[in-house]
Amino acid sequence: MKMTKKVLSILLAVLLFAACIPFAAAAENDPFRISCVVNGNTETQRGLTWFTNVDCATVVSYTDGVNEYTAEGTSSAWEGNFVHKVLLKNLTPGTTYTYKVGNGTVWSEEGTFTTDNGDDKAEFVVFADIQASNLENFEKGANVVNTALEMYPDADFVANLGDFTDDSTNEEWDFYDEAMGKINRNVTLAPVAGNHDGLGVWDWFETMFNLDTSDSVQNLNGVNYSFDYGNIHFAVLNTNDLLSISTAQLSWLKNDMNSTACDWKVVLMHKSPYSLGKDAKWPDALYLKSALGPILDECNVDLVLSGHDHQYLRTKPLTNDELDEDGTVFVLAGTAGAKRYEIREFLVDNFMPLDYIEACVVQKDGYGNYFNGTDFNSVDEANIGGVFNHISVDGGNLTLNSYVVSDATNEVKCIDTMTLTKEQGLNVPTYDGNNSTPDYIYGMGIGVSFASLALYTLTEWIVIFIKMLPELLISYIKTGTF
């Protein structure tokens, strides 16, 4: 009897263990952190990435609703997990695909993306700086992005202007995934590297997203790349490149912008040359203004979208830091996150002439959250919330609308509108060479890049900084922050 009981116990234990195996295996192979990003030709290609706890096969199953396809890719170890990458090629333009990723047996939930149809229309959602470190704040950011996508369900893609997380740890990327996983599976993303997206471990950003990095000047702490959508050419900069931008990346930008036949030219980057936020006073952000100015002018760039300083600001058109109605508009996109910056008034007329500002909204109570042209302390409670932007291009018209999603009520309020117009068909490409940057060219340029930044800092920046130092100190005494 005793023996029978023992045998039954062992049998029961074995059965329980066997029953658990499929669940354990499924959990270990379950894909997470799935993203679908622009990669090369947006009419025919997408770059997919996901992670698993254990190494396994890398398979995508996808369908256009008529035919079913599979594609395989590669996996590699990354920070305690395994990262899987697949480049989907030969897609049909203007087609919605449904896909799932996995090892061929265990699959993710389904996601979707739609390829560019090749006409001259495009629309996209832009947000920046969620930069959260806990699930609650990631969910607040996700609410802003979800609100944007509910308002604009036909957006072709979403641009995240960087600082996805605060410290770029496994835990934070998991919170990001938990809050934004459904969004990420169902949009095409154009990610921009922020300074928080590789802290400590330099190639987090390149690992997280399957981008076309063939033209990147270097792949540490961010990448630069470009793509077309509709009649817009986008150059995505990595402003973590030697404190902000190297001579090699400036050269890449010039060649890249000169090689497109698109009528509209847009730069996406993280750090902002024009801002009234706390980071606007440092040489890295301000160097961008002098370094990019001549290239944006020569290449007729229409719009620069950036983040980093967590407030909203739009300039009038500028050429080489001078007002010019044919110049480039700079938009600091506001933050979709919960960390928000007040205005530093001492920057006005030192680094940021007042009459350059077309619109400025601070999303934070207390210091003044609305600039009405004269008064920085005019408070508007409705501006306290997360910001997103929507941009649409239809032929010769580009329209920007920017919105705050109220923290208190979730109501959406338009805070800025802009329309640019241009005659189409005037842009002629002038560069058709190889725009890749060999490592030795980048290496040789490091000295020149640091010298350029140092020269700017020690001649132009330091003079202005010393001039505004008394105002900066008074501001610090009053508010307790720089």
At its nearest, how many Å lie between Fe ion and the CB of residue 70? 39
The residues in 21-80 that bind Fe ion, with binding defined as CB under 5 A, are none
Q: Which is nearer to Fe ion, 198 or 445 (CB)?
A: 198
Q: Which is nearer to Fe ion, 277 or 385 (CB)?
A: 277
Q: Which is nearer to Fe ion, 198 or 327 (CB)?
A: 198
Q: Which is nearer to Fe ion, 278 or 308 (CB)?
A: 308
Q: Which is nearer to Fe ion, 128 or 393 (CB)?
A: 128
Compute the C-alpha angle 220/282/166, nearest 5°. Answer: 50
**Interatomic CA distance for residues 108 and 34, integer angstroms:** 9
Q: Which is nearer to Fe ion, 107 or 330 (CB)?
A: 330
**How many Å is the maximal CA-CA distance in the chain?**
96
CA distances to 40, 59, 94, 100 from 44, in Å: 8, 19, 9, 18
The residues in 171-210 that bind Fe ion, with binding defined as CB under 5 A, are 194-195
At its nearest, how many Å lie between Fe ion and the CB of residue 286? 15
Whether residue 77 contacts residue 71, with contact meaning beta carbons closer than 8 Å, is answered with no
**Interatomic CA distance for residues 155 and 37, integer angstroms:** 14
CA distances to 180, 309, 358, 464 from 290, in Å: 36, 18, 20, 14
Q: Which is nearer to Fe ion, 165 or 437 (CB)?
A: 165
At its nearest, how many Å lie between Fe ion and the CB of residue 163? 4
At its nearest, how many Å lie between Fe ion and the CB of residue 165? 11
At its nearest, how many Å lie between Fe ion and the CB of residue 130? 11
Token digits for 107?
Answer: 């699959």
Whether residue 255 contacts residue 249, with contact meaning beta carbons closer than 8 Å, is answered with no
- Counting contacts by CB under 5 A, is residue 233 touching Fe ion? no
At its nearest, how many Å lie between Fe ion and the CB of residue 195? 5
**Interatomic CA distance for residues 325 and 302, integer angstroms:** 11
Count, residues near Fe ion per rule CB under 5 A: 4
Q: Which is nearer to Fe ion, 103 or 168 (CB)?
A: 168
116, 156, 163, 228: which one contacts Fe ion (CB under 5 A)?
163
CA distances to 137, 196, 203, 335, 419 from 132, in Å: 6, 10, 19, 11, 32
At its nearest, how many Å lie between Fe ion and the CB of residue 270? 6
185, 278, 308, 314: which one contacts Fe ion (CB under 5 A)?
308
Q: Which is nearer to Fe ion, 185 or 270 (CB)?
A: 270
At its nearest, how many Å lie between Fe ion and the CB of residue 272? 9
Please list, in sequence order, all residues whose beta carbon lies within 8 angstroms of the beta carbon of residue 141, skipping any fewer than 6 positions away. 127, 130, 132, 179, 180, 336, 337, 338, 386
Residue 135 phi/psi, 5-degree rounding, is: -60, -40
Query: Of 76, 82, 74, whose CA–CA distance to 51 is shortest?
Result: 82
Stretch that binds Fe ion, among 60-68, 136-144, 304-312, 346-354 (CB under 5 A): 304-312
At its nearest, how many Å lie between Fe ion and the CB of residue 444? 29
User: Which residues make up the interface to Fe ion (CB under 5 A)?
Assistant: 163, 194-195, 308
